[in-house]
Structure 1
């Protein structure tokens, strides 16, 4: 009933938002300096953006800078599976010297937003790497005929994608998938898979949530897993392709994120309104672009969501040495040849300092010279993989660690 109520409310509000969008466009087109017109236009513009969308936004990565020169980029689906696609940002017209850049699989979280949340991460990595990304699909758009999608399936997808990319692949996992990425690397290492990752970079991920627990961690342990299933899992309503599928709705995850910093989000929309009113459209556009992405939500398959809450945030299976994959114990100590880098943000209030670096202790068989850790001062969760400090301070270290593992 929860999803149906949300869908009904969304359907009722849609005509009003559409009218506000058209009114804003019409009023801005007049290019008048009249205060009343500009006030109404700004108000309509902001109102039209107070909505959730459920389709993946565009990556808008059409070119990359390589050695200071722009090169065209084309999105190429390499492997399409029901719940996710291995997407390649293929650079065209590279010189012979640049054509053999290290292949990087950027593993995006499946946590309520689309992989486009890592747009800036991918764009930066493209400077020196051949970049692929896990482009997760919206579970409400996946037919029930494709079955469920569990944490084991997520690990399967990762291993399949790495195998498809082939020998010498480097994995960069951001936030939630750090646990699955480490598990995939461990399983491939134990099997002596020829395509086991050359390097593994874990950024701001919940490897061991017992360390320095955040409010997110406390919320996850405040209720038993049965409570999450009863209160937060819903069935996809008509008319969506995934009708009947059990999901954790993306709008619930977004609501939780918004409530963590509600005053800041209110201030952002107020600031957007004032900037539009004063004609500072470029500044307002920055906020608009952020919220167009932030308010695009992705439903999670219920199996994956519940297993992640329980095994990662409640019972800490990987950190405790008891994570099972299809009846098989995951053993990070099997990793020997994969270089490991962990990155944390000093002010991260989602995955606090200490939770990601825990991976270093779980991998005792990796030689010390293949291990790297970096704590970035002055950044929160999103600053680890986007923004000025990501570009200027974190990325150079990630790049150097990847390239050092090749030598």
Structure 2
């Protein structure tokens, strides 16, 4: 029962802050108070509104909100989200565009399991949907998975990717974003030996820690500075009584969120202060830039303890991928066995999570791959988020990735457009 009450206490603090925000908004929004010429009343109401919304979003899984897509024929096509393969810890889903012929580009987006939902890649999906048949890994919140289902660590994650690639079939193009890049590389190598026909045609790794020691960041420094015992003692908690996964040991999403915010505390403080003033002046809106970003950023999910610990111990501390010593189910995975899959790495010059050098290390490990099937790109002015969801992704990186896909697959393809799916 250890840590159950701690998990519930964190949830109680979140609920209390949400309630404080709602109370402040309600109390300072009475029409009669409009007769009082005191700006503090409006500011307090605005503070309450922003506070209530922020703490409410922390436990709500965002919706994809992708209903239609404008096709090359100029018509709007409805988009249906289909569950292709349902698994306890995550599903393979497809964005099926009704009435559209196959594009010739089957893309599997591998979403990170690092505290946020797969919807963090919503803008990435939107940008690819007009030109690709898009699939994505939709990971589940560990707090909602009963203990009886069992464990889930980096080896299980890798085997999930193997099964998803097999499900989609040949001519698949995998794009792994951030945390799963090393495991997507391992899954591809696993298939190279076990089931070569199921290998993807291309593998694009974006901002991932293939070799965390190649370029130090605060994230890698933290992983090297603390011991596994310290992590287990101070970072993990058991899910509280409110959820289906009661008793499961997890790395809580709320704890991860506090770490994210602490890394750029001044930036986030200014963003919320500015938003409060915009709300007070009546300049904010339901779907303004601030709300669109923070509705997603604040929505966090718990990771299983074994996944969190094995990631730190094996990927960051042990460097099992970087030194080509990774094992899955007792079998060593040899990345040098990849001989036919074209591999491309993408890095951001201002990435403070996976610094330049960490991801491109994948090409060094692909000793069996000819140089003609290797590619890398560094976007000098892009940060971590920008290389897969920002302006740099839309204007520079996305076209390069699509060109890379087209150059390494002879399946007939539709012409590439410059548009994005409608929201």
TM-score, structure 1 as length reference: 0.93
- The question of 1:91 aligning with 2:97 is answered yes
1-structure distance, mates of 2:243, 2:132: 37
Q: Which residue is 1:146 aligned to? A: 149
Q: Which residue is 2:214 aligned to? A: 211
1-structure distance, mates of 2:346, 2:231: 30
Q: Which residue is 1:270 aligned to? A: 273
Judge conservation of contact 2:25–2:45 (CA < 8 Å) in 1.
no
Give the superposition deviation at 1:165: 0.6
1-structure distance, mates of 2:73, 2:265: 40
1-structure distance, mates of 2:312, 2:117: 19
Give the superposition deviation at 1:154: 0.3
Q: Which residue is 2:58 aligned to? A: 53
2-structure distance, mates of 1:126, 1:24: 44
Deviations 1:34-76 (A, max 9, x none): 9566434322212213315223200111123443734321111
Q: Which residue is 2:133 aligned to? A: 130
Judge conservation of contact 1:111–1:300 (CA < 8 Å) in 2.
yes
- The question of 1:360 aligning with 2:366 is answered no
CA separation of 1:35 and 1:17: change in aligned 2, threshold 3 A = closer
- The question of 1:7 aligning with 2:4 is answered no
1-structure distance, mates of 2:387, 2:183: 19
Judge conservation of contact 1:20–1:47 (CA < 8 Å) in 2.
no
Deviations 1:348-398 (A, max 9, x none): 000000000000010021121211100012111001111111101010001
Aligned runs of 1:1-400 on 2, under 5 Å?
A: 1=3, 2-20=6-24, 38-51=42-55, 53-67=58-72, 69=74, 70-94=76-100, 96=101, 99-282=102-285, 285-400=288-403
Judge conservation of contact 2:25–2:44 (CA < 8 Å) in 1.
no
Judge conservation of contact 1:18–1:48 (CA < 8 Å) in 2.
yes
SS at match of 2:49: helix
Aligned length: 401
CA separation of 1:182 and 1:21: change in aligned 2, threshold 3 A = farther
CA separation of 1:255 and 1:166: change in aligned 2, threshold 3 A = same
SS at match of 1:135: strand
Deviations 1:314-344 (A, max 9, x none): 1111111211111111111111111101000
2-structure distance, mates of 1:154, 1:343: 22
Q: Which structure has more RCO (C-alpha within 8 Å, separation ≥ 6)? A: 2
Judge conservation of contact 2:7–2:237 (CA < 8 Å) in 1.
yes
User: Unaligned 5+ residue runs, structure 2?
Assistant: 411-423
TM-score, structure 2 as length reference: 0.90
Provide the alpha-carbon RMSD of the alignment: 2.1
Give the superposition deviation at 1:19: 3.6
Give the superposition deviation at 1:132: 0.6
SS at match of 1:266: helix
User: Unaligned 5+ residue runs, structure 1?
Assistant: none
Give the superposition deviation at 1:281: 2.2
1-structure distance, mates of 2:227, 2:38: 57
SS at match of 2:214: coil
CA separation of 1:368 and 1:263: change in aligned 2, threshold 3 A = same
Deviations 1:282-330 (A, max 9, x none): 5982101211111111100011110000111111111112111111111
